[in-house]
Amino acid sequence: MMAFVAAVGLGACSDWTEPESVKVVYDGVSDSDPDTYNKYLENLRAYRNNGHKKVYAWFANTGSFNSQADHVSAVPDSIDVLVLHNPQHVSGEALDDLNKKRSQTGMLMACTVDFDAIKASWNLKKELEQAGGAVVPEWNKFLNDSLSVALKHASDAQMDRVIAAFIGQDVSHLPQPEKEQYLADQETFFKGIRNWVGSGSGRGYDYMGVPTNITDDEILSNAGILFLYETLTATSTPDYNYIVTRACAKGIDEKRVAVMAPLPGFDAANNPVGKWGDQYTSWAVARWARSTEIGAVGFTNLYNDYYNPTFIYPVCRQAIQLLNPAVK
């Protein structure tokens, strides 16, 4: 073999031939057995409406394609809604990737629009303004402008849904001026969300926060899934159970409730994110959720779960299997 390589190398040098690129073709089931693959996709699309517990996964799309981990095409097909962190980074190539995944598998695409992030940005800019920085628009204008930009990114990236994140607070003890401002902010934020939903065919929104802090019942009734934000910092399944029970005691239908759990980072051995002791948080939550009436589970940190030498997205795949066991 070495002699053959050496001979080829010497021949190439003597002829001064220009190197040519070689297209490597990796044979997959879609190529080797297209009929079986098409049947799989057909069954997968039907699976979306079979009443299972929905799976949302947050994906940190970076705007580049440095590895296969950056491609939406590689994420587990059994995810129901893929939530992109950076809809503003969806290029033409990435959009083709999204649309192919959506059309083949029935997976929906979403992004988060976060009220608290907008407010934090305004507060920071006001601090810089007081230190001699650029003049910042008054709050109401800033909120409307920021909403318009965020929702334009959602439209440009052809999102099917947005996750309207509004944690809120209990207004019962607020002074009247603060209560009025809170109610105005709530109305402005969700009016923008509703307008976006109504401006495109098939669009919808889900809610993330503390539902009991929402004073307008119509906001929650028009949302699809209600993500309980507090579950992201829960440290045991009894914590999850308490948060869900408390929300449902206020009249919220458990079947519309969703909880959240982090997947592990790159270095799960030294990074406690996504682990409770020696077990994966997502696996424990999936086992617990399977025995409840909740409608969905959201897994964060999906991008980092890709990296595994034997099986990509191993923790997420097993969590989905635990939540919705395949029929044997």
Whole-number pLDDT of residue 28 = 53
Low-confidence spans in the chain with pLDDT less than 70: 1-32, 266-271, 327-328
Whole-number pLDDT of residue 265 = 75
pLDDT digits (tens, 9 = 90+) for 206-252: 999 999 999 999 999 999 999 999 999 999 999 999 999 999 999 99
What's the predicted TM-score (pTM) here? 0.88
Whole-number pLDDT of residue 5 = 37
Whole-number pLDDT of residue 154 = 98
Q: Which H, E and C letters describe the chain, residue by residue?
A: CHHHHHHHHHHHHHHCCCCCCCCCCCCCHHHHCHHHHHHHHHHHHHHCCCCCCEEEEEECCCCCCCCHHHCHHHCCCCCCEEEECCHHHCCHHHHHHHHHHHHHHCCEEEEEEEHHHHHHHHHHHHHHHHCCCCCCCCHHHHHHHHHHHHHHHHHHCCCCEEEEEECCCCCCCCCHHHHHHHHHHHHHHHHHHHHHHHCCCCCEEEEEECHHHCCCHHHHHHCCCEEEHHHHHCCCHHHHHHHHHHHHCCCCCHHHEEEEEECCCCCCCCCCCCEECCEEHHHHHHHHHHCCCCCEEEEECHHHHCCCCCCCCHHHHHHHHHHCCCCC
Altogether, the residues listed in the chain come to a count of 328
Whole-number pLDDT of residue 7 = 40
Whole-number pLDDT of residue 63 = 80
Whole-number pLDDT of residue 308 = 86
